[in-house]
Structure 1
Amino acid sequence: MKRHLCLWFPNWPIQLQQVAEPEFRNRPLILTGTDRGREVVGACCRLAARCGVHPGLPVAEARTLLADRRHRASDACIQAGNSERDRDQLRRLAWSCESFSPLVGIEEREHPSSLLMEITGCGPCFGGEESLARQLQAVMAERGFQTRLGVADTIGVAWGVAHYARMRHPVVIIPANEQQVLHSLPIEALRLSAEVVHKFHTLDVRRVSQLLALPRKSLPSRFGRELVLRIDQALGAALELIVPERRPEPVVETWSSEFPIPATQALDVVVTKLLNRIVSRLSERQERIVGLCWQFRTEDRQSFDLALTLIRPSRDERHLLELLRLQCERTALPDGINRVRVEVTAFRPQSIEVQSLWGDNQEQNERDAVALIERLASRLGEDAVLRPRLCPEQQPELAFRYESAIRSRTVVRGGTPPVDDGHCRLSRPIWLKQRPVPVDVLSIIPDGPPCRLSWGRESHDVAQAWGPERITTGWWRGNQVRRDYYQVELTDGRRLWVFRDWSRKRWFLHAAFD
């Protein structure tokens, strides 16, 4: 009998986001999706769930629930989910598990969160099946992922145990106990649709043992053929195969010669031919380039490597050659090249692009922006071309960070900020001073809005003031920040952003509205 292992990543989209950006671990995080044209919660973390948020809830209601818990809502983050990225990262984890099993695949669901492995005969190589499962769980823990594992004869039982045994350590079911364990599981462990599960719950059928006690002949007509198939798969009466996730075949083209050539000839002739071959191969596979690596070797065995990362997958040879030439302007290649190697380090399946009959200025503007960023990064270096990213942080000077525009591989569309904290704010200035400037303030009302501001040799009367807006940071930050911000309009028309620092009992000028 074959043996199978199920590796489940609970709340996979949230885990993936928190591993990529650890600052979200201590804040309510919601990933959105669409349902019948509505924006709904696709996934949420435990902090958001404690506020009453759950998948399928309209985002507007989720914001209201978070607003009722203000100590959490101020740090909440709402982002758009990306199921394609989630599946791609799960596929990469499947590749990394090939050292534990020669056959690793992804569960066949619309939004998968589990890996399936056939481990027949693999246990002795790791000191037993339980040791294999523990080592696999430890590897995932080192990467920051929480997992649940189940091992059984059939994929169905392994999946059910991993999801519903509620054990943090791996659960290994020996063949003699498999039937007993299956009977004790809830009917959800059979991988049934939500509609079928709801029907059984209305009949007060909640355990697999109760379901199996029903007349088998009446099940297909009342609940569909999927139910009988899932039962047979769990019992081992129906064959279920794992579709393996194989690493893609490397795409590499090489040129070598006994007679060295100048660098210009290597670029103009050799690289052009190699790129043409690569593009032809990817066209047959319906894939596009995301990353490229060029390696030039000289006759005295010196090697020069150049790497290229694209924001938008492409097969445009002219664009790729232009980016390579821009890189060579930054790192001059020597003459005497006798070997050139071009390898595609990353690629994506070709997607279908729907074009408007009347044109789409926003789409064209985005393409132009992507091309510009890629050219600048090739000429100046990836770390020289940055984009600001909003962070779920209340302290204004810490509410953003700079990241590589290339490595982030995103271009923000107009009007859609990448982070939303879920509550209204006063308008913010675009530019902050590098350091808040101390100012002297005259107020008519104690602890009230400023009526006159003075700094240096300047003194100005305030015509209008709006506020205060209280901004505080969490106790876990150490030195807590507690400020009251005001927007003030001076008599000369200028608008400033000032705050009172309650810890230092001082006023500061933080920004001006241009």
Structure 2
Amino acid sequence: MVVLTESTKRGDFVYQCNDLAKRRGVRPGMPASEAETFAKTHDSLKIRQASLDQDKTALVEVALRCEPYSFCIGLEETDRPECLLMDVTGIAHFFSGEHALLEQLQQELSSQGFETRLAIANTVGMAWAVAHCLETSQRMIVPATDRAFKDKLSIGALRLPETVLAKLGRLGIYTIGQLQKLDRCSLWSRFGEELLRRMDQLAGERPESITSCRPVPRFIASRRLEYGLTQPETIEQLWLSLLERLVSLLSPMRLGTRHLRCHFVMDNRSEHEINIRLCGTTADVRRLANLLRLQLERQHWNAPLVGIRLEALEVAPLDRTQREMLEGASHDQACRFSQLLDRLSSRLGNEAVTRPAGQPNPIPELSVRLVPVTEVFSAKTVEQDALLPLDRPTALFPCPRPIEVIAVIPDGPPTALFWKSDRLEIAQCWGPERIEFGWWLGPFVRRDYYRVETTKGKRLWVFRRLQDDRWFWHGEWF
């Protein structure tokens, strides 16, 4: 019977105990003196002071043993970490699927004497929550679309402080489904930002990264010269040989890079840095060389070159190359299009070549933002299941356009619109759809939206701003 205790100002209390102690009635948080009374005469009772540093060190050792199953393994970010977080994106196919991966990982840890609860989910928060709801030696994979399962989870799955959980319990809130029915404004005012952050992380609406236990290896190829080089052909031969050496470090591990950093040192001690970002991970020397050559064509150096350093950043498995913009295309088409985007980004700049990305924001003009195509794509999606494809216009104006409106009743639908010098008669009107959002997150929005069809067949999306009853034209269907 093993009991670990921790010392506080109020005395020694049980921190953790083994299964035998639990069967005897010992529980974490119990006074150590009370825990001793549960031991029977034939039990070999061992009470030890818990060492958090030793616990963390041992947990890191377990994490390092699990490296064959993940490229990034970290501990949960608390003062007392008790579980491992593993990024298994793009890994499952090496084990013939996620179920086989969990089974092999559980067998590996069981052979070392550990009792495990394993879960795979689309977010860190969901995986943590499910693992803590399972019984010992169980494993589970949660589908990304299973919203009903999330609603049934206890609020203890949100990784909240005990004080917040106690307040929610006094209000009769025990599940995440109950919590999501409440107004976010009220939750923020009563419980602060931490509650909303944990809810969003669980749903995948806020990013949450895993800090690796082991520092990520650096892939670098460099060369220092005794005498400077001035001939472009000789310089190209040098950086090309370094690039081949750098790729040779990545290829055996089936890794690629999304970001190549090139550092050039001149004889007069000046330095030049070139950063090449790509749409997806690659270990193709020719592709990287073409992009670097494009960048070097615009460089004008006034001193001989004496050093080059190439470093591969944002290293990831080659199979993790993002294809979100290329669904339905063949592999060759996807590769050619990806190379075109890389060349355009290299020539025009990363901010000049962008793609739309959905945002978890009900304000229409803030629900989409443009991000560089070279930016890492997030697998999370904005949940808008209640919207049908044509509920939003095909063309949305970045800024709503002010218009004049004639309505039969003051708060009713429009019967005619005036845009500049044009009068648009309304033939049909649908609505209103009210959108209200957030003073606690920035702009305070209260709008009534209408879909209208003019007598000439144009379909427009207009709204009335409830604060001052002004009308705006926000988009149209083509």
Q: TM-score range by the shorter chain?
A: 0.5 to 0.7
Q: What is the aligned-residue RMSD (CA, Å)? A: 4.5
Supply the distance in 2 between the matched residues of 1:507 and 1:363 (Cα, whole angstroms). 48
In structure 2, the partner of 1:388 is 356
In structure 1, the partner of 2:77 is 9
Residues 178-219 of structure 1, C-alpha deviations (whole Å, 9 max, x = no match): xxxxxxxxxxxxxxxxxxxxxxxxxxxxxxxxxxxxxxxxxx
1:410 aligns with 2:374: no
Cα distance 1:316–1:80, how it changes in 2: closer, same or farther (>3 A)?
farther
Supply the distance in 2 between the matched residues of 1:452 and 1:371 (Cα, whole angstroms). 49
TM-fit CA distance, 1:31: 6.1
1:280 aligns with 2:248: yes
Supply the distance in 2 between the matched residues of 1:254 and 1:495 (Cα, whole angstroms). 63
For 2:210, which of 75, 89, 92 is the aligned residue? 89
SS at match of 2:288: helix
SS at match of 1:90: coil
TM-fit CA distance, 1:40: 2.8
Q: Which moved more, 1:443-452 or 1:502-511?
A: 443-452
SS at match of 1:375: helix
Supply the distance in 2 between the matched residues of 1:255 and 1:343 (Cα, whole angstroms). 15
SS at match of 2:222: strand
**Alignment-mate amino acid for residue 210 of structure 2:** Q
**Alignment-mate amino acid for residue 502 of structure 1:** L
CA contact (8 A) 1:260 1:336 kept: yes
* Residue-pair matches, total: 324
Cα distance 1:71–1:493, how it changes in 2: closer, same or farther (>3 A)?
farther
For 2:230, which of 251, 261, 267 is the aligned residue? 261
CA contact (8 A) 2:259 2:278 kept: yes
Supply the distance in 2 between the matched residues of 1:8 and 1:77 (Cα, whole angstroms). 17
Supply the distance in 1 between the matched residues of 2:363 and 2:265 (Cα, whole angstroms). 51
Unaligned runs of 5+ residues in structure 1 are: 14-28, 55-63, 95-244, 354-358
In structure 2, the partner of 1:397 is 365
Supply the distance in 2 between the matched residues of 1:31 and 1:368 (Cα, whole angstroms). 37
**Alignment-mate amino acid for residue 466 of structure 2:** W
Supply the distance in 1 between the matched residues of 2:355 and 2:334 (Cα, whole angstroms). 15
The higher-RCO structure (CA 8 Å, 6+ apart) is: 1
SS at match of 1:5: helix
1:474 aligns with 2:474: no
Supply the distance in 2 between the matched residues of 1:256 and 1:434 (Cα, whole angstroms). 53
In structure 1, the partner of 2:464 is 500
Residues 120-168 of structure 1, C-alpha deviations (whole Å, 9 max, x = no match): xxxxxxxxxxxxxxxxxxxxxxxxxxxxxxxxxxxxxxxxxxxxxxxxx
In structure 2, the partner of 1:270 is 238
Cα distance 1:41–1:262, how it changes in 2: closer, same or farther (>3 A)?
farther
Identity %: 29
**Alignment-mate amino acid for residue 405 of structure 2:** V
Residues 404-436 of structure 1, C-alpha deviations (whole Å, 9 max, x = no match): 332x32288xxxx83124433662124333432
Cα distance 1:399–1:248, how it changes in 2: closer, same or farther (>3 A)?
same
Residues 254-305 of structure 1, C-alpha deviations (whole Å, 9 max, x = no match): 15241523234312x1111111222223233443233322222233232211
TM-fit CA distance, 1:481: 1.7
SS at match of 1:39: coil
- TM-score w.r.t. length of structure 2: 0.56
TM-fit CA distance, 1:376: 2.0
In structure 2, the partner of 1:347 is 315
CA contact (8 A) 1:78 1:421 kept: no
SS at match of 2:414: coil
Cα distance 1:501–1:295, how it changes in 2: closer, same or farther (>3 A)?
same
Matches within 5 A, 1:308-457: 308-334=276-302, 336-351=304-319, 361=329, 363-406=331-374, 408-410=375-377, 418-424=381-387, 427-457=391-421
**Alignment-mate amino acid for residue 381 of structure 2:** P
**Alignment-mate amino acid for residue 392 of structure 1:** P
**Alignment-mate amino acid for residue 89 of structure 1:** I
**Alignment-mate amino acid for residue 509 of structure 1:** W
Supply the distance in 2 between the matched residues of 1:51 and 1:444 (Cα, whole angstroms). 53
Cα distance 1:38–1:318, how it changes in 2: closer, same or farther (>3 A)?
closer
Supply the distance in 2 between the matched residues of 1:43 and 1:365 (Cα, whole angstroms). 39
Unaligned runs of 5+ residues in structure 2 are: 1-47, 57-74, 86-123, 131-139, 160-175, 186-195, 322-326
CA contact (8 A) 1:254 1:340 kept: yes
**Alignment-mate amino acid for residue 279 of structure 2:** I
SS at match of 2:291: helix
SS at match of 2:391: coil
